[in-house]
C-alpha cells in the first residue's frame, strides 16, 4: 500500500524550528506501483492551543507545498500530518507520521539581555572558558519549558547536571554583526517541580578567538564573551512566564581554549555539582548585563547543528620508544579525541595532532601557527573520560605525550564532527582507485562542512572561501543535503556584500591581510551557488532570496569590465595551477583576465535565466545583453578566426567550451586542441581550482570521452588518483601536497583535506554513472551514461526531493545493460551510449540493454603506472603483463 513518508518543512531536519509563519511542506510516496502518481493530498493541522483543521488540495506535486492554515504565531507549535490520493486508488493513503513544527521568537518577543563574565580580552593568546549558573523555581503545574539560546562565543547548556542538547560549538559562526543563530530547546523533560538550575559553559569561539592566517586576528566581533538565554515556562492554564535569572559566573576548568590552539582542561578545578540546584555559588561573581543590539537579527537555524556524527576506533595504537603513544585513526577527519583512563592526581598529558607523518614524525609544519595541542590534567578520581569541548582538529595521526610507561595504555576514540547533514548520493564503479578517490571526496566534504563550508580543518585558516564552494557545490548537493548549510552561508555573503559593496574571497570576512578586491570565480559564488541549489532542489525561493546579491555582483563586474572584457584589478585566476612553484601558487598558464571575462559571461547568463524564471522580463533582457556583450568581448579578445583560444591552455579551452563561449563551428577545433594539450601533458592534470572541474566535461562534449577517462584514471602526479596511490583518505589542496618520496610540499599552503580539487566527483555522478537532473529538483531526470576507461560497471544513487533515483550499468562484452529506478511523481529521459534516441521512463524499476562497441582506445592508452600501489600493480599485471615484468624492481 502506498504510504506518505519523510514529511518535513522547508529544507530542515528535526527538530523543526522555523522563523517563518508559513513554512512550506514536502513529503515522499513509497510502496507505489509503477507509473503511480499523486492526484491530491490533505494536510491535517493540529495547533497545540487551537482546534485542528484539515485542508485538501488537488495536485501531483509533493515538494515545497504551500502552508494553508493561517500563520503560525511566535512560540506556537503545530502537529502536522499528510495523506495523499493517487492514480492507483480511489482511497487515500494512511496518514503520515506526524511532525511538530515550532516557530521561534520574533524580534519583539525578546525581553532578555546578554550577560557576560568577561568584557575585555586584552592579550592576544588563548583564554579560559567560563561557567555561568542560575537557579529558579518550577511550579508543579508547569507543562512546558523552552530555552532560547545564543551567544557571543560558543556555549553548552546543562540543566540540573544533564546536557540539554547534543549540538556542539553552538551557535556556530555567522556574520555576527548581522545575525546570530538561536537554538530553541525543549527543557521540560529535564526539569522537576521545585528548585532547578541552569549551567552554561562559555568560551570565545569564533566571536572573540583568533581567526585567519598570517598570525590571525583576535576579537574580530567584539571584546565581550556573553550569553543570551531566555527561559519560558508554560502552565497548565495557558499562562506563559518568562523566568528572571540571576546569573553568576566563575572560571571553568578549561584554562585555555582556541579553535586553532587546542584546549587545556584541569580536572582538579572542576566544581562538583555546579550545574545542579543547591550548589554554593557564594564565591562566584555577578555577571554584567549587556543590552542587545536591535540591528542584529536573532534567527532560527536553516541547517542542521554541528554534532559528533561518528566514532572511530584507532586503526593502530602503540607506544613509541621515547614513550609517546602514536595513534592512527585510519582516516583523516575533523574532530577530536576522547581519552579514558586512570592516572594519579595532577598527571598531565598532551594530545598532538597532524594529518600525515613525515618520516617517523607528526607533520606539523602544514598546520602553520595552529598548535592543535590539547592538554588534560587528571583529578585522580578513578577512571576519567575526557574530550575537548570548544576546539576541533583536522587529523589522522595523533600522539599522547606524558602517559606513564608503567600504566596500561588508555582507551582512545576519535570523534568525527561536522554539520549533521543527511546523506543524499552515492557512487561506485569497477575501478578500485576511482572508488577510493570518490570516498576521499566524501570525507573531505564532511570534514569541511562545519556550520559553513570551510577550506581546511587543520591549519590557521578554516575560512568560507567562495571560489572553493562554487566549484564544489554541484558535487556537494549530490552527496549531502547541503541546502540549509549553504543558505545560511549565502545570507552571510549577502549581508557583508551590502556592507562592503562587493563579494569578498571568503565569508564571513576576516580582514587578516588578504586582498579585499573582487575576484572572478570567487565572487561569482554569489550567482553560481544559489543557481546550483535551485537546480538540485527546484526551490525558486532560493533564487528569489539570492537575487539582490546575484544582481549586485553582476552589476559590479559589469561596471568594472570594459565593454564586457574584465581586464584590470586583482585576480586569483586558475589558482594552484600544478606548474606554479610552491612559493607562487597564483602563477598560472591561463591569463587571469581571460578567466575573469569567461566567468562574467557565464554568471550574467545564469542571472538572466534566474530573472526569467522569476518572471522579471525587464531584467531578463538586461542581463541577456550583459552576457552577450561579455561573450562578444571574450571572442574578440581571446578567440582567433580559426577557432583557436589565444591563451592555448587546458583551462582556457575547457572554460570556453563548457561556458558556451564558442560557436558550433568552433567547438570541434577547440575540442581537438584540448585533446592534444591533454595528451601532450601525458594525461596529467594541468589545471587549477577553476579549470579542474571543467576539463572532463569539455572533452566529452567535444567527442573525446576516451581522453577524459585517461585523464581521470591517471595515477602519476599530478592527477586525481596520485594521492590515492600515496595512501590519501581525503582530497589534497595541492596535487603534490605529498611528494613521491613521502616528503611534504615545501609550500606554505599544503593542506591534506581540501575539497576543491574533488569537484570532478560531479562528473562521476553525471557522466560516468549518468545521473543528473533534467529539470530543477529532479522532477525530470536525465540518464545518459558515457562508459569508458575500461570500466565494466558504474552505479550512482541520489535521494531526490521525490525519492531515491538509481542508475546502474554493466558492460558484458559488447552488451551494455542499464538499470534505472525512477521515483513516484517523476520521469526519466534516457539516452543509451552511442545513441541519440531519447527514451522516456515513468516511475518504477526499468531494465534496458543494447549492443555497444568499445572505442579503439578503451581501455585507455598505455600510461605510466604506479608500481608501488598494490591495486595499480595488479591492474598493470592484468592489462600489461610485459610492462609489469619490465617494471619489476
Q: What are the residue ranges of helices labelled H in 524-649? A: 525-537, 540-560, 592-613, 617-638
Q: What is the pLDDT of residue 373?
A: 98
pLDDT of residue 248: 98
Nearest to 380 by CA among 253, 267, 263: 267
Which residues are within 8 A (CB) of 273 and not within 5 positions of it... i.e. 6 or more apart?
Answer: 161, 279
pLDDT of residue 93: 98
Q: Going from the N-terminus, what domains does the chain have, and what CATH number goes with each?
A: 3-103 (2.60.40.10), 107-303 (2.60.120.260), 307-419 (2.60.120.260), 425-758 (1.50.10.10), 782-851 (2.60.420.10)
Average pLDDT for runs of 10 along the chain of length 889: 97 95 97 96 94 96 94 96 96 98 97 96 88 98 97 98 98 98 98 98 97 94 97 96 98 97 98 97 97 96 97 95 95 98 97 95 95 98 97 98 93 98 98 98 98 96 97 98 98 98 98 95 98 98 98 98 94 93 87 97 98 98 98 96 90 97 95 97 96 98 97 97 97 95 91 97 98 98 97 98 98 94 97 94 95 62 48 57 50
Whole-number pLDDT of residue 877:
63
pLDDT (0 to 100) of residue 49: 85
Angle among Cα 781, 4, 40 to the nearest 5 degrees reads 80
In 636-667, which positions are buried (b, 16+ CB within 10 angstroms) versus exposed (e)?
ebbbeeebebebebbbbbbbbbbbebbeeebb
767: three-class secondary structure by DSSP: helix
Q: pLDDT at position 758, please?
A: 98
For the annotated catalytic residues, the residue numbers are: 461, 733
Distance CA 493, CA 510 (A): 12
For 38, 774, 776, 826, 847, the CA distances from 823, given in Å and listed in that order, are: 12, 14, 15, 6, 15
Q: Residue 868: its pLDDT value, please?
A: 43
* Cα 585 from Cα 581, distance rounded (Å): 6
- Angle of helix 525-537 relative to helix 592-613, nearest 10 degrees? 40
pLDDT at 126: 87
What pLDDT does residue 867 have?
A: 45
127 forms beta bridges with: 257
- Residue 857's pLDDT is 55
Amino acid at each position: 500500500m502506498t504510504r506518505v513518508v519523510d514529511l518535513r518543512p522547508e529544507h530542515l531536519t528535526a527538530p523543526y524550528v522555523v522563523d517563518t509563519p508559513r513554512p512550506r511542506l514536502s513529503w515522499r510516496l513509497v510502496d507505489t506501483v509503477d507509473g503511480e502518481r499523486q492526484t491530491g493530498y490533505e494536510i491535517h493541522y493540529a495547533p497545540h492551543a487551537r482546534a485542528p483543521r484539515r485542508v485538501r488540495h488537488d495536485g501531483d506535486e509533493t515538494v515545497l507545498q504551500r502552508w494553508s492554515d493561517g500563520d503560525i504565531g511566535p512560540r506556537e507549535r503545530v502537529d502536522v500530518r499528510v495523506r495523499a490520493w493517487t492514480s492507483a486508488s480511489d482511497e487515500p493513503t494512511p496518514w503520515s507520521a506526524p511532525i511538530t513544527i515550532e516557530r521561534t521568537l520574533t524580534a519583539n518577543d525578546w525581553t532578555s539581555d546578554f550577560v557576560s563574565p568577561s568584557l575585555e580580552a586584552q592579550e592576544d593568546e588563548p583564554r579560559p572558558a567560563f561557567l555561568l549558573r542560575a537557579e529558579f523555581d518550577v511550579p508543579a503545574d508547569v507543562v512546558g519549558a523552552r530555552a532560547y539560546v545564543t551567544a557571543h562565543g560558543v556555549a553548552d547548556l546543562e540543566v540540573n547536571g544533564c546536557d540539554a542538547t547534543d549540538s556542539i560549538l553552538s551557535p556556530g559562526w555567522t556574520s555576527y554583526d548581522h545575525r546570530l543563530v538561536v537554538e530553541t530547546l525543549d527543557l521540560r523533560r529535564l526539569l522537576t517541580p521545585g528548585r532547578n538550575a541552569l549551567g552554561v559553559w562559555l568560551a570565545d569561539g569564533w566571536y572573540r578567538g583568533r581567526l585567519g592566517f598570517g598570525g590571525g586576528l583576535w576579537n574580530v566581533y567584539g571584546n565581550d564573551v556573553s550569553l543570551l538565554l531566555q527561559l519560558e515556562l508554560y502552565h497548565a492554564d495557558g499562562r506563559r512566564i518568562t523566568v528572571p535569572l540571576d546569573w553568576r559566573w566563575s572560571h571553568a576548568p578549561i584554562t585555555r581554549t582556541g579553535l586553532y590552539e587546542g584546549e587545556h582542561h584541569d580536572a582538579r578545578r572542576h566544581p562538583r555539582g555546579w550545574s545542579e540546584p543547591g550548589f554554593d555559588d557564594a564565591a562566584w561573581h555577578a555577571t554584567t548585563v549587556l543590552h542587545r543590539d536591535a540591528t542584529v537579527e536573532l534567527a532560527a537555524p536553516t541547517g542542521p547543528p554541528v554534532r559528533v556524527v561518528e566514532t572511530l576506533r584507532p586503526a593502530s595504537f602503540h607506544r613509541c620508544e621515547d614513550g609517546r603513544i602514536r595513534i592512527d585513526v585510519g582516516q583523516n577527519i575533523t574532530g577530536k579525541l576522547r581519552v579514558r583512563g586512570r592516572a594519579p592526581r595532577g598527571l598531565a598529558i598532551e594530545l598532538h595532532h597532524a594529518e600525515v607523518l613525515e618520516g617517523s614524525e607528526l607533520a606539523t609544519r602544514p598546520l602553520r601557527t595552529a598548535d592543535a595541542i590539547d592538554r588534560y590534567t587528571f583529578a585522580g578520581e578513578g577512571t576519567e573520560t575526557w574530550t575537548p569541548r570548544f576546539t576541533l582538529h583536522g587529523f589522522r595521526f595523533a600522539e599522547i605525550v606524558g602517559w606513564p610507561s608503567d600504566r596500561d595504555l588508555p582507551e582512545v576514540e576519535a570523534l568525527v564532527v561536522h554539520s549533521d547533514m543527511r546523506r543524499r548520493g552515492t557512487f561506485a564503479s569497477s575501478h578500485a582507485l576511482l572508488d577510493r578517490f570518490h570516498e576521499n571526496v566524501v570525507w573531505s566534504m564532511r570534514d569541511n562542512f562545519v556550520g559553513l563550508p570551510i577550506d581546511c580543518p587543520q591549519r590557521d585558516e578554516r575560512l568560507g572561501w567562495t571560489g572553493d564552494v562554487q566549484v564544489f557545490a554541484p558535487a556537494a548537493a549530490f552527496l549531502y543535503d547541503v541546502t540549509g548549510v549553504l543558505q545560511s552561508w549565502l545570507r552571510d555573503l549577502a549581508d557583508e556584500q551590502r556592507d562592503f559593496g562587493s563579494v569578498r574571497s571568503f565569508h564571513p570576512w576576516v580582514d587578516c591581510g588578504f586582498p579585499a578586491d573582487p575576484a572572478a570565480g570567487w565572487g561569482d559564488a554569489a550567482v553560481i551557488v544559489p543557481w546550483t541549489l535551485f537546480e538540485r532542489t527546484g526551490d525558486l525561493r532560493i533564487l528569489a532570496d539570492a537575487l539582490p546579491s546575484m544582481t549586485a555582483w553582476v552589476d559590479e563586474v559589469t561596471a568594472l569590465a570594459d565593454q564586457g572584457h574584465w581586464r584590470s584589478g586583482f585576480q586569483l585566476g586558475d589558482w594552484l595551477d600544478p606548474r606554479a612553484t610552491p612559493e607562487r601558487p597564483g602563477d598560472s598558464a591561463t591569463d587571469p583576465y581571460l578567466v575573469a571575462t569567461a566567468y562574467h559571461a557565464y554568471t550574467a547568463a545564469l542571472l538572466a535565466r534566474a530573472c526569467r524564471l522569476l518572471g522579471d522580463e525587464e531584467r531578463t533582457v538586461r542581463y541577456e545583453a550583459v552576457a552577450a556583450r561579455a561573450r562578444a568581448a571574450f571572442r574578440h579578445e581571446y578567440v582567433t578566426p580559426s577557432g583557436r583560444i589565444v591563451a592555448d591552455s587546458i583551462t582556457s579551452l575547457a572554460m570556453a567550451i563548457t561556458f558556451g563561449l564558442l560557436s558550433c563551428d568552433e567547438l570541434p577545433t577547440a575540442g581537438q586542441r584540448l585533446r592534444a594539450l591533454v595528451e601532450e601533458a601525458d594525461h596529467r592534470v594541468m589545471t587549477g581550482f577553476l579549470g579542474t572541474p571543467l576539463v572532463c566535461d569539455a572533452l566529452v562534449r567535444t567527442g573525446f570521452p576516451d581522453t577524459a577517462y585517461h585523464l581521470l584514471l591517471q595515477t602519476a602526479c599530478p592527477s586525481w588518483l596520485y594521492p590515492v596511490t600515496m595512501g590519501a583518505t581525503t582530497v589534497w589542496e595541492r596535487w603534490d601536497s605529498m611528494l613521491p618520496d613521502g616528503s611534504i610540499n615545501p609550500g606554505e599552503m599544503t593542506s591534506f583535506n581540501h575539497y576543491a580539487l574533488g569537484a570532478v566527483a560531479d562528473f562521476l555522478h553525471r557522466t560516468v554513472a549518468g545521473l543528473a537532473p533534467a529539470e530543477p529538483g529532479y522532477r525530470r531526470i536525465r540518464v545518459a551514461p558515457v562508459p569508458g576507461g575500461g570500466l565494466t560497471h558504474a552505479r550512482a544513487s541520489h535521494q531526490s526531493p521525490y525519492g531515491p533515483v538509481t542508475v546502474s550499468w554493466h558492460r558484458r562484452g559488447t552488451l551494455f545493460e542499464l538499470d534505472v529506478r525512477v521515483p513516484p511523481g517523476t520521469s526519466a529521459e534516457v539516452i543509451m551510449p552511442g545513441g541519440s534516441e531519447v527514451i522516456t521512463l515513468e516511475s518504477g524499476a526499468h531494465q534496458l540493454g543494447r549492443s555497444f562497441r568499445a572505442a579503439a582506445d578503451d581501455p585507455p592508452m598505455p600510461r605510466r603506472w604506479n608500481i608501488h600501489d598494490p591495486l595499480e600493480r595488479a591492474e598493470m599485471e592484468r592489462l600489461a603483463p610485459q610492462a609489469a615484468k619490465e617494471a619489476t624492481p
